[in-house]
Structure 1
Amino acid sequence: MPPPPTKWKGHCEFTGQRTCNNKLVGARNLLKEALEEPPFENFFHGTHTAAEAAGAFVEDAGVFGNAKGTAAGMAPGAHVAMYKVCNDKVGCTESAILAAMDSLGLGSLPFFDDPIAIGAFSAIQSGIFVSCSAANSGPEYGTLSNEAPWILTVGASTIDRKIAALAKLGNGAKYQGETLFQPSNFSSELLPLVYPGLNGNNESAFCTPGSLDNFDVKGKVVVCDLGKISSVLKGQEVLRAGGAAVILTSPEIVGYSTPTSAYPLPAVQVGFGASFAIKSYINSSSTAQATILFEGTIIGDSLAPEVVFFSSRGPSQESPGILKPDIIGPGVNILAAWGVSVDNKVPSYNVVSGTSMSCPHLSGIAALLKSAHPDWSPAAIKSAIMTTADTKNLGGLPIVDQRHLKADIFATGAGHVNPNRANDPGLVYDIHPDDYIPYLCGLSYTDREIGILVQRKVVCANVKVIAEAQLNYPSFSIILGSTSQYYTRTLTNVGPANSTYSVDIDVPFGLGVSVNPSQITFSEWNQKVTYSVEFISQVRENRGNHSFAQGALTWISQKHTVRTPISVIFK
């Protein structure tokens, strides 16, 4: 289990526009190019996300004949009110964001200076559920946004559909990747393979505009590294220089992730392992050859859902006593409506990736849950989503990250959303908006700062202040030293009137956990029962070199399984 840094770095500050440190800017620039967003993406981002949340059923949807089928949003019968809050000239103004607070894909810190957190608190006071993107700054720890506990913070995962292609080399090796544009008239005959960056030419390695003027790429397959510019522009440069096709190679940070789009010529994007092998082959051969074999749409990836490299990771910087992200959802190569046609078809669709795609999936699911349970509060809806989440992939194994290693709790949160189970969670952890005030006082915010958030006068001296981890949240996030810690949670029965639950504990490494009582019986619907948990500190030697651990506390009845994830950071 890789350790998180001792001091979380990389968050963005909101200053009318968002400004970030250089490291995070580099990650976001890589993301922008890796996600293959065309120049007009900003104008159709809202179209795409709205369709994911509530798009109507449309038959024979797809792009370039791929990902074909009936398209629909998560809640196709829902109504959508959309507001444009950002533009290329002035960025994202606070006034615009505050005016558009039903669901967002933006983020910043801290809570009392964060217009999203402020607007979201006002929304939940009115019974409006708020979901936000975790941000696209992964895979490093402590890179997420939208950390407020009254917001559902959503990370991004893959789906079990690949728009597949193979990079076939002259030595017979084949490496799978993805590409949206798959021309049927492209020959499978091997062509000369070149890497313009072989001799250390940085610009030509990234195939930036004009960088291939001094290279003979005519009729050849050209290797271009991800980075610096969009892959569309890389493809345009190769096309201008006379190249026949492109293999887009990924740095180590990307892992096996292959977000794709519509390239302007035959192309395939491959992950880091394949990228390393392809470059090694070029280095070892004076007559390197390659071609691209298009495989079309393939359904059934057993590793899905897989956490994608760009999905921002926890822990929360502003409130480490709250586990974030809360959940992951589909956010890679998502087909949805688009403002213009990319393949001369109407209605027009496009494939886009990002946590901005996973967020509206959860918004739509929340709308369905609210429709089915109109009496549920925003916190109850969040709890239902989190406590019923999947922790295993389609192959029945633990969810993995972009390296194909077991994804940790700061990547997945509670796990991957399971809408059907969320509709019948059995129990929920509910929170009234006023319950956040003792929590905010516990963050050492001033009365004035809390007043900005809750829009009324607050005097913390008159409030029973609680620790962060004492908030009635559907997860535990513990920072543990040498002293054991004790917290309570209150469950509300939204299942059968008469039901009994027994606790099962997946104890995090390096500590002990005690739950009292170990069995809870409900005799009526909407009944509330409180239980306590003691997190028992053990000798440091038992922790080895681990800086954090994870586990879960699960309440199990004959019909329901209510899982509460636990993260523990050792100090």
Structure 2
Amino acid sequence: MPHARSKSMGPMTISPFACVLSALIVLLATACPALGYVPNSGLATQRTGAAAAQTYIVLVDPPPAASLQHSDGDEAAHRQWHESFLLPAVAGGVQRRVRHSYTSVVSGFAARLTAGELAAVSRKPGFVRAFPERRLRPMTTRTPAFLGLDPGRGVWNLTSYGEGAIIGFLDTGIDENHPSFRDTGMPPPPSRWKGSCQPPVRCNHKLIGAASFVGDNTTADDVGHGTHTTGTAAGRFVEGASAFGPVPAGNNTTAAGMAPGAHVAVYKVCDAQGCFESALLAGMDAAVKDGVDVLSVSLGGVSAPLDRDPIAIGAFAAASRGVLVVCAGGNSGPLPSTLSNEAPWILTVAAGSVDRSFRATVRLGDGEVFQGESLTQDKRFGSKVYPLYYSQGMNYCDYFDANITGMMVVCDTETPVPPMSSIEAVREAGGAGIVFVNEPDFGYTIVVEKYYGLPMSQVTAVDGTKIMGYAMKGSSTTNHTATIVFDSTVVGVKPAPVVAAFSSRGPSVASPGVMKPDVMAPGLNILAAWPSQVPVVEGPAEPYSFNVVSGTSMATPHVTGIVALVKKAHPDWSPAAIKSAIMTSSSAVDNDGHPIMDEEHRKASSYAVGAGHVAPARAVDPGLVYDLGVRDYAGYICKLLGEAALKAIAGTVNLTCTEVEPLGAEQLNYPAILVPLRAEPLAVNRMVTNVGPARSSYTAKIEAPEGLTVKVEPAELEFREVGERKTFTVTVSAAGASAEQKLAEGTLSWVSHDHVVRSPIVADSSIALI
């Protein structure tokens, strides 16, 4: 057996930019000093003593009406009110100043404070709550076709490619000169748009807003993440797109985002040092005031209570103003309960694969072949075979005490992407090429990156075990050979989609009783726009305008773009209605017609895939929607966390728990149903709104596993007009479940002549009624 090794990254040398890419793929906090990521349990600013200052987000009541009447404007009045909490300065101390003044998504400000100064602020009239900010983590040519988006027809034709919709991005900035953001043929932004471009950026009809809330005060993307996510959601058509080198013959290489006709506004809240919550909240505050239709947030941190999560707090106010916030679910899978961005008013996105492979086939001397992947395609390599070398004692390729000159070397990995240190070790020892074997936890998920130095292929753990067995067969290894055949880009791969191993899983910690994530979208090995001035890998500084990156960060903008298409088709729909349309129209099966699988090729749980994989063509015409309003969410908050939490979350909406009916999670009119797994029947109520044909008839279709009984009353719904609402009750009982059963999953589908409106039903023994 290979020698045991710690799961930590160890002392390997990693370039600053390699850290950036790793951080975008999975949560490798300890390995990325360039970004300064902290462990999951840490805060962004570490206190070194009682008097050390750190940044706090301070929530306060809105300014008194009198101060608004006597100020030079609303913004000035709020800033003066916020600064009043910091005056007078403590004798002999530092004069503190407001770093960000929030007026839209929350009422409050951000400032650096010591513990003593925070105590003084908290005693002032109007103070609500304060919490230290955390550092968050930044969490395509094939995906439009994979999702059924075709130029000149279907949903793109119906929605004019999202023309007129405005998408806001909270990210690392943008490469404004990238061809994905040219404005040829685009109309000007709608008259309701209030934003602008921060100099020296010049707005056009595509990029209509750009602002920075970080220290460098520029909107330039020196990381690449923001350009990639923006291009994925709304990039224009760019022909001949290729991540590295010439375009392979016969491949469709026209890159486009999900909503190529939409306008984009970029709010830089991250840089190479990381993403801080105070800046993110400032960006969200500006975006909502500017007039965006949807916000894309490919960032996240460790799960936090909703009333202490700035993204959740800001998203609540955004939803109250008609703006749906789409967020990454996190990259801490496949462990359970690892989600970020879990509030029920947020659309939380999981990540899956697409039907494309950057094929690098490993061919053994005995004729067996294994389909690995590699972005580095060396066409000359497959014409020759090489001795195959594998050592259990040196399986991680840290060093070699044997002669491997001219050999193909098999190396284990303990991270999602092979470390450069292993490649360097093999190269320096004279190896001819490498076969990297996935760590077991990642199963069939292969995360690719660009490498220089040696030809390589990355294979699954299952295939890697077979290759190792061949290399070690018998007493002599001299006759064991292998080569790598590079087949460029292969499309139509099955099965797809498959849940990516890194994609975080439910159940939700912050929103118990609410089914999360909501949907899955392409997030594995996504090709999209990249700033040419940002190197993609350690090695030769070749400029590339496209790059392949993985993460729920990449899945999120796919859904954001689809939200823009739905918003274009239905401008009067609420954020909850749009979210419902995307969830209930999603697909539960892969391109082979089988239930979507997880990284181990087992049937994926709803805690991994959500309601299903996004299906844009169906999302614009869902038939029925489950709608929710601010008062519904407020009732949920009151039931879960109480009055103080509602004041913190809904401060700008001015609701109290005496004004709303407390609402348990199971009774929230959510498009997914999550209940405790118990023998006693539990009845939950739902209401649907007809957004399809005026005269429609729907019949309930139940799919329930053995041991779970589900009853729907009434079992038929008759509609006579658009906008008509109908209520129904779903009663769930697990009286037939075994004592060992912990989870039971089924579906409720409302079926008409033209529509199938599908909702997952999950009964979980770990869930309790609140």
TM over 0.5: same fold?
yes
For residues 419 and 254 of structure 2, the distance between their equivalents in structure 1, rounded to whole angstroms, comes to: 28
Q: For residue 485 of structure 1, what is the amino acid of its counterpart?
A: L
Are residues 311 and 544 of structure 1, via their aligned partners in 2, closer, same or farther at CA, if it must alter by over 3 Å? same
For residues 391 and 21 of structure 1, the distance between their equivalents in structure 2, rounded to whole angstroms, comes to: 35
402-411 vs 229-238, which moves further: 229-238
The superposition leaves residues 18-76 of structure 1 with CA deviations (integer Å, 9 ceiling, x where unpaired) of 53269xxxxxxxx99xxxxxxxx980111111110011100111133356510000011
Q: Who is 1:25 aligned against?
A: none
Superposition RMSD in Å:
2.5
Unaligned runs of 5+ in 1: 1-10, 23-30, 33-40
1:17 Cα deviation from its structure 2 partner: 6.0
For residues 38 and 580 of structure 2, the distance between their equivalents in structure 1, rounded to whole angstroms, comes to: 30
Q: Who is 2:205 aligned against?
A: none
Q: For residue 567 of structure 1, what is the amino acid of its counterpart?
A: V
For residues 537 and 256 of structure 1, the distance between their equivalents in structure 2, rounded to whole angstroms, comes to: 33
2:387 aligned with 1:192: yes
Q: Who is 2:291 aligned against?
A: none
For residues 223 and 238 of structure 1, the distance between their equivalents in structure 2, rounded to whole angstroms, comes to: 10
**Given the two structures, how large is their TM-score scaled by the length of structure 1?**
0.88
For residues 253 and 367 of structure 1, the distance between their equivalents in structure 2, rounded to whole angstroms, comes to: 35
For residues 635 and 28 of structure 2, the distance between their equivalents in structure 1, rounded to whole angstroms, comes to: 26
Are residues 301 and 455 of structure 1, via their aligned partners in 2, closer, same or farther at CA, if it must alter by over 3 Å? same
For residues 453 and 254 of structure 1, the distance between their equivalents in structure 2, rounded to whole angstroms, comes to: 37
- Structure 1 counterpart SS, 2:746: strand
The superposition leaves residues 535-566 of structure 1 with CA deviations (integer Å, 9 ceiling, x where unpaired) of 13415xx3352200100111111111100111
For residues 120 and 240 of structure 1, the distance between their equivalents in structure 2, rounded to whole angstroms, comes to: 51
Are residues 345 and 73 of structure 1, via their aligned partners in 2, closer, same or farther at CA, if it must alter by over 3 Å? farther
Kept in 1, the 8 Å contact 2:704–2:710? The answer is yes
1:325 Cα deviation from its structure 2 partner: 0.8
Percent identical among aligned pairs is 45
- Structure 2 counterpart SS, 1:218: coil
Are residues 253 and 17 of structure 1, via their aligned partners in 2, closer, same or farther at CA, if it must alter by over 3 Å? closer
1:384 Cα deviation from its structure 2 partner: 0.4
2:545 aligned with 1:348: yes
Q: For residue 275 of structure 1, what is the amino acid of its counterpart?
A: G
- Aligned pairs for 1:283-294 within 5 A: 283-285=472-474, 286-287=477-478, 288-294=480-486
Q: Who is 2:279 aligned against?
A: 96
Residue from 206, 211, 224 that aligns with 2:396: 206
Q: Who is 1:427 aligned against?
A: 624
The superposition leaves residues 2-30 of structure 1 with CA deviations (integer Å, 9 ceiling, x where unpaired) of xxxxxxxxx999xx9653269xxxxxxxx
Kept in 2, the 8 Å contact 1:103–1:363? The answer is yes
Are residues 537 and 225 of structure 1, via their aligned partners in 2, closer, same or farther at CA, if it must alter by over 3 Å? closer
- Aligned pairs for 1:528-539 within 5 A: 528-538=725-735
For residues 17 and 179 of structure 1, the distance between their equivalents in structure 2, rounded to whole angstroms, comes to: 28
Kept in 2, the 8 Å contact 1:51–1:336? The answer is yes
254-263 vs 48-57, which moves further: 254-263
181-190 vs 419-428, which moves further: 181-190
2:265 aligned with 1:51: no
1:230 Cα deviation from its structure 2 partner: 4.7
Are residues 232 and 74 of structure 1, via their aligned partners in 2, closer, same or farther at CA, if it must alter by over 3 Å? farther
Residue from 478, 496, 506 that aligns with 2:703: 506
Residue from 439, 444, 465 that aligns with 1:276: 465
2:424 aligned with 1:236: yes
Residue from 514, 535, 554 that aligns with 1:322: 514
Q: For residue 97 of structure 1, what is the amino acid of its counterpart?
A: L
Kept in 2, the 8 Å contact 1:448–1:458? The answer is no
Residue from 649, 664, 669 that aligns with 1:453: 649
Kept in 2, the 8 Å contact 1:163–1:179? The answer is yes
Unaligned runs of 5+ in 2: 1-26, 30-35, 43-137, 140-220, 285-294
Q: For residue 381 of structure 2, what is the amino acid of its counterpart?
A: F
1:401 Cα deviation from its structure 2 partner: 1.2
Q: Who is 2:367 aligned against?
A: 172
Q: Who is 1:157 aligned against?
A: 352
- Structure 2 counterpart SS, 1:49: helix
Q: Who is 1:382 aligned against?
A: 579
1:486 Cα deviation from its structure 2 partner: 1.4
Q: Who is 1:35 aligned against?
A: none
Kept in 1, the 8 Å contact 2:379–2:485? The answer is no
Residue from 400, 420, 437 that aligns with 1:249: 437
For residues 62 and 439 of structure 1, the distance between their equivalents in structure 2, rounded to whole angstroms, comes to: 47
- Structure 1 counterpart SS, 2:617: helix
For residues 94 and 348 of structure 1, the distance between their equivalents in structure 2, rounded to whole angstroms, comes to: 29
Larger radius of gyration: 2
1:218 Cα deviation from its structure 2 partner: 2.4
Q: Who is 1:4 aligned against?
A: none
Q: For residue 513 of structure 1, what is the amino acid of its counterpart?
A: V
2:594 aligned with 1:397: yes
**Given the two structures, how large is their TM-score scaled by the length of structure 2?**
0.66
Kept in 1, the 8 Å contact 2:377–2:455? The answer is yes
Residue from 495, 500, 504 that aligns with 1:303: 495
Q: For residue 105 of structure 1, what is the amino acid of its counterpart?
A: S
Residue from 527, 540, 561 that aligns with 1:364: 561
Residue from 528, 532, 546 that aligns with 1:336: 528
For residues 187 and 560 of structure 1, the distance between their equivalents in structure 2, rounded to whole angstroms, comes to: 50
Kept in 2, the 8 Å contact 1:12–1:20? The answer is no
1:261 Cα deviation from its structure 2 partner: 2.0
187-196 vs 485-494, which moves further: 187-196
2:39 aligned with 1:19: yes
Kept in 2, the 8 Å contact 1:170–1:289? The answer is yes
2:240 aligned with 1:220: no
1:233 Cα deviation from its structure 2 partner: 4.1
1:99 Cα deviation from its structure 2 partner: 2.3
Tell me how many residue pairs correspond in the alignment. Answer: 531
166-175 vs 425-434, which moves further: 166-175
The superposition leaves residues 306-361 of structure 1 with CA deviations (integer Å, 9 ceiling, x where unpaired) of 11111111111222311111110111111111123769987611111111111110
- Structure 2 counterpart SS, 1:48: helix
Are residues 336 and 12 of structure 1, via their aligned partners in 2, closer, same or farther at CA, if it must alter by over 3 Å? closer
Kept in 1, the 8 Å contact 2:418–2:436? The answer is no
Residue from 673, 682, 687 that aligns with 1:485: 682
Are residues 233 and 365 of structure 1, via their aligned partners in 2, closer, same or farther at CA, if it must alter by over 3 Å? farther
- Structure 2 counterpart SS, 1:242: coil
- Structure 2 counterpart SS, 1:19: coil
1:251 Cα deviation from its structure 2 partner: 1.8
1:441 Cα deviation from its structure 2 partner: 1.0
1:569 Cα deviation from its structure 2 partner: 0.5
1:81 Cα deviation from its structure 2 partner: 1.8
